[in-house]
Structure 1
Amino acid sequence: MAIGLPTIDIIFKKLAATLVTRSASGIVALIVKDDTDSTHAVKEYTSVLQIDATKFTMSNVQYIKDVFLGGAAKVIVAPVATDSVAVIGDAIKTIGSRKYNWIGLAEGKDDEQTDLVAYIKEQETAKKSVKAVVFDATAPDCQHIVNFTNPSVTTASGKLTGEKYVSRLLGLLAGMPLTRSSTYYGLADLISVEEPADVESAVNAGEFVLFNDDDLVRVARGVNSLTTLSSTVSEEFKKIVIVETMDMIRADISATFKNDYLGKFKNKYDYQVLLITAINSYFDALANEDILDNTFANRAYIDIEAQRAAWIATGKAEAEGWDEQTVKNNTFRSNVYLGGNIKITDAMEDFEFGIDLQ
């Protein structure tokens, strides 16, 4: 079997001090259909003032502005030809290796929404943490896909069909800090929305919906489209804020391992302890920021059974009887087998208050 590149399936490091501010500074990749600039070159903006209106139609300029209205730190605009038959494929190709957190279509058609769903699921399988907002897709069932389903929204400028509001929601979610969820977030730019027949049923079906709450339009619940649960995928994975937190922790730990440990240390127990200590310091800092529950023992550790199984698989039967410390001392080739147990704090969203009258 070829050795190949080191596999980085773990998570690590101390970017905790900036995690909250980074979480509110997401990058959005916005796909627009536009032939104004015949080169269809990708544009990157960090401010509304940078938008070159001569490169886009008026409607696409407004979509870019809508992303910034939500609070995104950066917008990567991927223009594709209006006659493209592979909108998602063309956009992904032009975006290339640029990093972004959220992606979506301005005025995407049904088949394009479906293609974007397929792309995000591929990225999730590859353990990439990019997320998408799609419009009215058919049961995406994916923790990295937010499925917006309100048929229409009404702004001061008039009524818009739902797919034309995706850009605004991309900016909203990219700019949302991990200290809160999008649940009940008020959208002051909207006058009203066309609600689904049953808002609660829609939310339970993994739909991201808005509802009319007196004189303000609000997000009903900050959920993604996940509906299928398992022994390793629990109810919490339906929450956007929980998945966003997991993604950022995974990215921090993976990047730190690559930058600070990979190839720089021999694979022995002492150095694994250094790695674990750094990860646990990171978890402690996240607990101080209320990202993790500070009443819970958030800890990383050597995965004893995984490391034991690796030795047994090579024919070393005596590994079956090793005590824990012996397993720890017998590191396996270039592999670092770590596990972890953390508790991410959710936002307060459900309230019950019973009062007894005497």
Structure 2
Amino acid sequence: MGLPSIDISFQTAAQATIAMGDKGYVGVIVRDTAQAGAHYLPRVGKIPAELTEDNRAYLTRTFLGYINPPKAVYLYVTDAEDTNLAKALAYFETQEVDYLVGPPDLSEDEAEAMVMWLKEVRAAHSHIKLVLPGTVADYDPVIDFDADGMTDGETVFTTAEYCSRMAGLFAGTPWTMSATYAPLPELTDITRLDKETADAAIDAGKLILIHDGRQVKIGRAVNSLTTTTLDHGAIFQKIKALEVIDRVDADFRATIEDTFIGKVANTYDNRMLLVTAGRNYFHTLETAGLLIEGSSTLDIDTEAVRDYLGEAADEMSDDELRHADTGSQVFLVGKFTIADAIEDVTIRITV
């Protein structure tokens, strides 16, 4: 039944994740009277010339990226009749983009509608993240971009007009890097914040821009999450961390669905083939520097098996639980630690 393909598929997924880690896909919504509907833009030269100048500029900023440009942009052109961007969001419900932004004239009501939509699609295992202007969400897949006075020396941009730039920048950030202190060389100035105000904004889950006296750059690459728990800790506030978590989840789901579910018998040997393949996947990510070396584990979840079997499992040993008949159910448990990027440095110098 093709069991060896499970390990091959996991390794292929791991290599693809590492290879595509320096690029990503961005979804952009604009309002226009021309070119209605969906478009795939593999490069900036494919932006429809019929769009307004402002919309073309908005899309062009997306392609600026960071270390690399985005792999591609999925564009949806809608109009003023599209209440709360319902048509546009229905399209992106069937697309797997990394970051999604609304139109450059996004309203507060539309931003709130996008957050509600995002919670629904992520509950259905989407991995989309939103970049929204000044939107307090306390939700890690939402980036609350909050900056003012951005200018290239000629034009002053609003926060909403620069969301596409942020989405493209994150899509172009390699997995092994953080976008903290990523420069925006096209900007000559912003509304400058003192350190106390900047720190307070970051603590409030806002993505801000700072000017260090030489250049404009991102402050700290955080999302809007501010309420952390023991199970959902501070690491989830990092944009980089959520990207890795999303990619691991996507790789596991796709590989298991494509090469395992419905295709093999639920025996101990087959379960262990899946476990071994998953461990090899984690090891590949550790070697690539995405995960901390030696931090990842994956095995049969004997406690979950015990709960599933009920009273019949009261006298069973762990080894018996591992071999037990669990019908169509497979219970696994694992963990890993994401390799964070260097963001804080303390140096003690004695003279």
Q: What is the match of residue 5 of structure 2?
A: none
Q: Does 1:149 align with 2:146?
A: yes
Which of 132, 140, 144 matches 2:130? Answer: 132
Instruction: Tell me if the contact between 2:93 and 2:121 (Cα under 8 Å) persists in the aligned partners.
Output: no
SS at match of 1:186: coil
Deviations 1:199-239 (A, max 9, x none): 10100111000101112111110111111111210111100
Instruction: Tell me if the contact between 1:196 and 1:202 (Cα under 8 Å) persists in the aligned partners.
Output: no
Structure 1 Cα separation of the partners of residues 149 and 315 of structure 2: 64
Q: What is the match of residue 44 of structure 1?
A: 40
Q: What is the match of residue 110 of structure 1?
A: 108
Aligned residues: CA RMSD: 1.5
Q: What is the match of residue 248 of structure 2?
A: 249
Which of 97, 100, 124 matches 2:97? Answer: 100
Structure 1 Cα separation of the partners of residues 248 and 153 of structure 2: 39
Q: What is the match of residue 60 of structure 2?
A: 65
Instruction: Tell me if the contact between 1:136 and 1:148 (Cα under 8 Å) persists in the aligned partners.
Output: yes
Structure 2 Cα separation of the partners of residues 77 and 157 of structure 1: 27
Deviations 1:2-37 (A, max 9, x none): xxxxxxxxxx92222232331222111101011123
Q: What is the match of residue 6 of structure 1?
A: none
Q: Does 1:346 align with 2:340?
A: yes
Amino acid at match of 2:219: A
Structure 2 Cα separation of the partners of residues 123 and 349 of structure 1: 32
Deviations 1:30-71 (A, max 9, x none): 01011123xx221111011122212x1111111111111111
Structure 1 Cα separation of the partners of residues 250 and 201 of structure 2: 31
Deviations 1:119-167 (A, max 9, x none): 1122233332110100001x20111111101133111332111111001
SS at match of 1:211: strand
Q: What is the match of residue 4 of structure 2?
A: none
Amino acid at match of 1:309: D
Amino acid at match of 2:282: F
Q: Report matched runs for 1:82-97 at 5 Å.
A: 82-87=80-85, 89-95=86-92, 97=94
Structure 1 Cα separation of the partners of residues 308 and 179 of structure 2: 43
Structure 2 Cα separation of the partners of residues 100 and 263 of structure 1: 28
C-alpha displacement of 1:196? 5.0
Structure 2 Cα separation of the partners of residues 96 and 140 of structure 1: 20
Instruction: Tell me if the contact between 1:132 and 1:145 (Cα under 8 Å) persists in the aligned partners.
Output: yes
Structure 2 Cα separation of the partners of residues 320 and 238 of structure 1: 41
TM-score of the superposed pair, with normalisation by structure 1: 0.90
Structure 1 Cα separation of the partners of residues 303 and 149 of structure 2: 53
Structure 2 Cα separation of the partners of residues 44 and 157 of structure 1: 30
Amino acid at match of 2:156: K
Structure 2 Cα separation of the partners of residues 331 and 263 of structure 1: 16
Instruction: Tell me if the contact between 1:147 and 1:225 (Cα under 8 Å) persists in the aligned partners.
Output: yes
Q: What is the match of residue 296 of structure 2?
A: 298
Instruction: Tell me if the contact between 1:21 and 1:177 (Cα under 8 Å) persists in the aligned partners.
Output: no
Structure 2 Cα separation of the partners of residues 121 and 151 of structure 1: 28
Q: Which runs of 5+ in 2 are unaligned?
A: 1-8
Structure 2 Cα separation of the partners of residues 124 and 63 of structure 1: 26
- Distance verdict in 2 for CA 1:48–1:339, change over 3 Å: same
Q: Report matched runs for 1:188-267 at 5 Å.
A: 188-195=185-192, 198-267=197-266
Amino acid at match of 2:333: G
SS at match of 2:27: strand
Amino acid at match of 2:48: D
Instruction: Tell me if the contact between 1:150 and 1:195 (Cα under 8 Å) persists in the aligned partners.
Output: no
Q: What is the match of residue 271 of structure 1?
A: 270
SS at match of 2:28: strand
Instruction: Tell me if the contact between 2:97 and 2:127 (Cα under 8 Å) persists in the aligned partners.
Output: no
SS at match of 1:301: strand
- Distance verdict in 2 for CA 1:96–1:206, change over 3 Å: closer
Instruction: Tell me if the contact between 2:207 and 2:221 (Cα under 8 Å) persists in the aligned partners.
Output: yes
- Distance verdict in 2 for CA 1:195–1:122, change over 3 Å: farther
Instruction: Tell me if the contact between 2:210 and 2:218 (Cα under 8 Å) persists in the aligned partners.
Output: yes
Which of 18, 25, 28 matches 1:27? Answer: 25
TM-score of the superposed pair, with normalisation by structure 2: 0.92
SS at match of 2:247: helix
Task: Count how many residue pairs are aligned between Structure 1 and Structure 2.
Answer: 336
Q: Does 1:180 align with 2:174?
A: no
Deviations 1:317-351 (A, max 9, x none): 13022111110111311111111121110000011
Q: What is the match of residue 310 of structure 1?
A: 308
Amino acid at match of 2:17: L
Amino acid at match of 2:186: D
C-alpha displacement of 1:195? 3.9
Q: What is the match of residue 166 of structure 1?
A: 163
Instruction: Report the identity percentage.
Output: 28
Q: What is the match of residue 285 of structure 2?
A: 286
